[in-house]
Structure 1
Amino acid sequence: MLYSDTRDSSRQVSFRTAVMEGMSHKTGGLYMPVTIPQLSKSLVYRNPVPSFRDIAFETAKLYIEDEIPEGDLMEIIVDAYPFAAPVAPIDRTTYVLELFHGPTCAFKDFGARFMARVMAFFNRDENDPLHILVATSGDTGSAVGSAFHGVPGIDVTILYPTGRISPLQEKQLSTFDENVRALAVSGSFDDCQKLVKTAFTDESLREKLRLSSANSINISRLLPQSFYYIHGALLVHQRSWHDNKIDQPSLIVTVPSGNFGNLTSGLLAKKMGAPIRGFIAATNSNHTIPDWLSSGQYEARPSVATLSNAMDVGAPSNYERIAAMYTVEEARRIMAGYWLDDDGTMEAIRSCYDRTGYIIDPHGAVGWKAWTDTRDGAMSRLLAGFSVPEGMPGLSGGRDIAPEWAADCSAKKCIGMILETAHPAKFGDTVKKAIGREPSIPERLEKVLALPDRSVKMDADYTAFREWLLETL
């Protein structure tokens, strides 16, 4: 399997090179598989549904081929996933894919743990250390730090926007030691991401340091996230008839999105043959992608702070991958865009709890609201010619650009799978304000609260960042 540069398709590299480089240092582009492999029918139609690890192994083999022997790959899968992603039905046509059962209670654990073990495998014969640079808007950094902590031959530097993540998220980021360090950057996530991307294209720096990325810009973090889309979709289809008696339902996956790596993984899963009809790209007031779907024009912008901070991204890196896979016209046929402001997010946490008893985090709440609005009339109104006024939250677009599955939803033939990307305890204050009670906190999160802060303060200045890297690493 070869991987091409999104900015120069003639540049094609091996899986190992794509993983260890992180992104193309020649162009600043991202790596994508040249061809999308297909899942075997025996896997998709197996009854009962294969285990999460089996799906992970069979899917990973297609992308890695002979670059990692099958025995070593199975060891990587087993070690990476002592947990899975269960599906929780919360009403007759709605399922929540719970992605918070890993060590840092966020969906980033699925990609980070696989990536760490793959990188360690490829790095084992190297003499010089590999330096991972990662920008985070919330959960990525802690998942990457946890996944790489104590891994020999690899150092990790996490950049996060100070004051723009929840207190518990900051505790998870700022308390690492040994080979993992955290920089508290005065600025936004976009500032952090710009520092990382600039470092990757700094040839003189790369001559001194072996650099790679652990953001979703790294293909080895993106690909394993497709595992839970495939597994979740198969689980939902297996039980759907018993829940709602809908014959051949259209499964719509609602993805709370910031840097849009998670949604890109879902698009890959669909292309591979996962039984997914379409997607709702759900986000907060940083609605760059819904606006692109609506207008056809991509316009990056400065990010704004919201209650769903992991989605506070104004210039999502993975737009580049989505645009490499689809034209805007093709993307519109598959996905709908939706955005929600903070008031709507608080109301969504309340309404989900009141209607179903399920406690959802602010990111999943955006997904809940997007799905329930879509199935409860918003898509029908869109098809009838009524669109959301410009600048107002809701389902983006108009009748002429509605997705190909829109009529299915109007006919009540859709079922929904919402991605719950983080445990609600990571946003306990927000959840308590919404529903009047705090969510229970897992023991693995509670232990973090007693650890000391070891983060380093940093301005959003590349010269200062570069000097710090050279002095420290």
Structure 2
Amino acid sequence: MLYHSTNNSAHRVPLKEAILRSLPPDNGLYMPDTLPTLGADFWKIWRELSFQEIGYAVAEAFFGEDVPEDALSEIVDGTLEFDAPLVSLTPQDHILELFHGPTLAFKDFGARFMARLMAHLTKDEDRMLTVLVATSGDTGGAVASAFHKVPGTRVIILYPKGKVSGLQEKQLTALGGNISALEIDGTFDDCQRLVKSAFLDRELSESLNLTSANSINLSRLVPQSFYYIHSARQVEAEPVFVIPSGNFGNLTAGLLAHQLGLPVKKFVAATNINDVVPAYLKSGDYQPRPSQATISNAMDVGAPSNFARMKALFGDSWDAMRGKIEGYAFTDEQTRAAVREVKSTFDYNIDPHGAVGWLAAQAWREEHPGDTTITLETAHPSKFLDVMEQEIGAGIVDIPERLAILADKEKVALPMPADEKIFRDHLVSQA
């Protein structure tokens, strides 16, 4: 299959280039020339399939033309070594827990699949692969875990100074080895801009063999489609998916699942005060702006990259997009109150990102009381221990051992201004 740029359908490349180069030279995003669907035979039996069987069917639909069956099966099995359980707060209010992977965040699904796919695509090469990733919290940790000690790779993580939680930062900065971190004096949008600038410098990108692990890379999104189908098969009604959103990769993955044939009544984009997409859905006017820091830091994005893919999936039609996606935005004060309410009402610990989603689910069901919602809980609450303890008390949230052991490890990060030339010079010096 060939892949084209969202900015220029005439720019078309094979899978290997789309995945390893990540970003087209025109600053668009890669999309498949033909969006696949799963046939009637799949949808006859989908509710009886295992998570792994669903994952393989989706992966084969997207990548089966280019990746042999045995290799693809191994990639999927290695990705899905942990579950994504559905927890029911009420018969209509469900939480999809996506934090049971090694770094306690939904990004583990995409990062593990991507690392394995890239290893397959480069198995016959002897060049070092340099993986760049901008993170607002969880992406960097998942990518660091997925690529740690992988031969022939090095990972450079850019994160905004003072805008990730303490344990999130340790996940980015304490592994060492082939993982290094840059502490950028700016926002996530600055980190994302620096990463994109490196890819748009084609000479630099080629000489350093750069690839991206952000959701600009299509191989991050496809495996996130797995859990939409996996969770929907466990409810009887056509679900409304509620997605805490920042860079909008997770919601785009849901749209890909819907394109494959998954029945979805509505997608709800839940954001904090960085509400660029909800504002667009109301007005039709897309106005990116500098992001603002919140307690749901992984959603602090003012110029979401995947908006370009969302537009492409809806044929650049505002009416079509708002017909399938609703948007809600909430403040930190509302988020904190939701953390307390979910704990007191259901005895469930929900992290600040999931709390934003839960608020959106309640808002949706107030207007559509008969609907069934599935809210994506994207990270374990222990990753935001300061907020959780402020709202529900100390000692309430257990810290899994794989996160607790990082607390005493040394942070190793290079401070850097949000300057493209300085960043470029650093990359060249690491060659």
TM over 0.5: yes
Distance 1:433 1:152 in 2: 42
- 1:176 CA displacement: 2.1
Note if contact 2:247-2:305 (Cα within 8 Å) is conserved in structure 1.
Answer: yes
* Distance change (3 Å), C-alpha of 1:127 and 1:425: same
2:406 aligns with 448
Correspondences of 1:20-99 after superposition (within 5 Å): 20-24=20-24, 26-46=25-45, 49-99=48-98
Distance 2:146 2:197 in 1: 24
1:336 aligns with 326
- 1:421 CA displacement: 0.1
Correspondences of 1:213-228 after superposition (within 5 Å): 213-228=212-227
Asked if 1:349 is matched to 2:339, the reply is: yes
Deviations 1:137-172 (A, max 9, x none): 000000001001111111110000010011110111
- 1:212 CA displacement: 0.9
SS in 2 for 1:236: coil
Letter in 2 for 1:292: Y
Asked if 1:294 is matched to 2:251, the reply is: no
Greater than 6 Å deviation, 4+ residue runs? none
Correspondences of 1:422-461 after superposition (within 5 Å): 422-437=379-394, 438-461=396-419
Note if contact 1:254-1:419 (Cα within 8 Å) is conserved in structure 2.
Answer: yes
Distance 2:47 2:375 in 1: 22
Note if contact 2:56-2:73 (Cα within 8 Å) is conserved in structure 1.
Answer: yes
Distance 1:236 1:152 in 2: 42
Distance 2:412 2:176 in 1: 7
SS in 2 for 1:449: coil
2:15 aligns with 15
Farther off after superposition, 271-280 or 93-102: 271-280
Correspondences of 1:37-186 after superposition (within 5 Å): 37-46=36-45, 49-186=48-185
Distance 2:238 2:74 in 1: 35
Correspondences of 1:387-406 after superposition (within 5 Å): none
Mark the runs of 5 or more structure 1 residues left unpaired by the alignment. Answer: 238-248, 380-408
SS in 1 for 2:269: strand
Asked if 1:255 is matched to 2:252, the reply is: no
2:371 aligns with 414
Aligned Cα root-mean-square deviation (Å): 1.2
Provide the TM-score with structure 1 as the length reference. Answer: 0.89
- 1:4 CA displacement: 1.3
1:395 aligns with none
Note if contact 1:160-1:189 (Cα within 8 Å) is conserved in structure 2.
Answer: yes
- 1:436 CA displacement: 2.2
SS in 2 for 1:333: helix
Distance 1:57 1:353 in 2: 36
Letter in 1 for 2:345: R
2:205 aligns with 206
1:466 aligns with 424
SS in 2 for 1:414: coil
Distance 2:370 2:104 in 1: 33
SS in 2 for 1:46: helix
Aligned length: 428
Note if contact 2:244-2:354 (Cα within 8 Å) is conserved in structure 1.
Answer: yes
Asked if 1:3 is matched to 2:3, the reply is: yes
Distance 2:427 2:346 in 1: 49
- 1:207 CA displacement: 4.1
Note if contact 2:46-2:233 (Cα within 8 Å) is conserved in structure 1.
Answer: no
Provide the TM-score with structure 2 as the length reference. Answer: 0.97
SS in 1 for 2:207: coil
Farther off after superposition, 30-39 or 222-231: 30-39
- 1:48 CA displacement: 5.2
SS in 2 for 1:164: coil
1:400 aligns with none
Distance 2:32 2:342 in 1: 38
Letter in 2 for 1:38: T
2:258 aligns with 270
Letter in 1 for 2:6: T
Mark the runs of 5 or more structure 2 residues left unpaired by the alignment. Answer: none
- 1:45 CA displacement: 3.3
Deviations 1:406-462 (A, max 9, x none): xxx2xx331000000000000111112112243111111111112211111111111
